[in-house]
Amino acid sequence: MTRSTRNQIWNLVSTRVNSLAVACQTCILRDDRGQDLIEYALMAATIAVATAAIFPQSIAPNICAIFSKVNSSLGAANI
């Protein structure tokens, strides 16, 4: 195999790999399946913090216990 043939093959392979990488990156950037879940979790956390700030301090441990249960459930589900 000559040097020019190896260079042509290398150029072809590198071009294909680059185009595949760009296609994968485009798919990853357009994927927004988990976006709603994150938004709802942030909204729930904001409401919980506001509630803990407004209401008496006796409610704050209950909210902490709820989030601890949710965290352990998500951990058990491997999410």
Q: Kindly state whether residues 27 and 37 are assigned to the same domain.
A: no
Q: φ, ψ for residue 34 (rounded to 5)?
A: -90, 0
In terms of domains, do 37 and 73 share one? yes
- 6 and 20 belong to one structural domain: yes
Buried b (16+ CB within 10 A) or exposed e, 28-46: eeeeeeeeeeeeeeeeeee
CA pair distance 44, 67, nearest whole angstrom: 10
Asked whether the beta carbons of 59 and 52 are under 8 A apart, the reply is yes
Q: Are residues 43 and 74 in the same domain?
A: yes
Please tell me the pTM assigned to this model.
Answer: 0.35
Please count the structural domains in the chain.
Answer: 2
Identify whether residues 63 and 42 lie together within a single domain: yes
Q: How confident is the model at residue 79 (pLDDT cuts 50, 70, 90)?
A: low
Taking only the tens place, the pLDDT of each residue in 13-68 is 777 777 777 776 777 677 666 677 788 888 888 887 887 777 766 766 777 788 88
Amino acid making up residue 79: I
Q: Could you list the residue range(s) of the whole structural domain that residue 38 is in?
A: 33-79
71/41 same-domain check: yes
pLDDT for the residue 2:
77
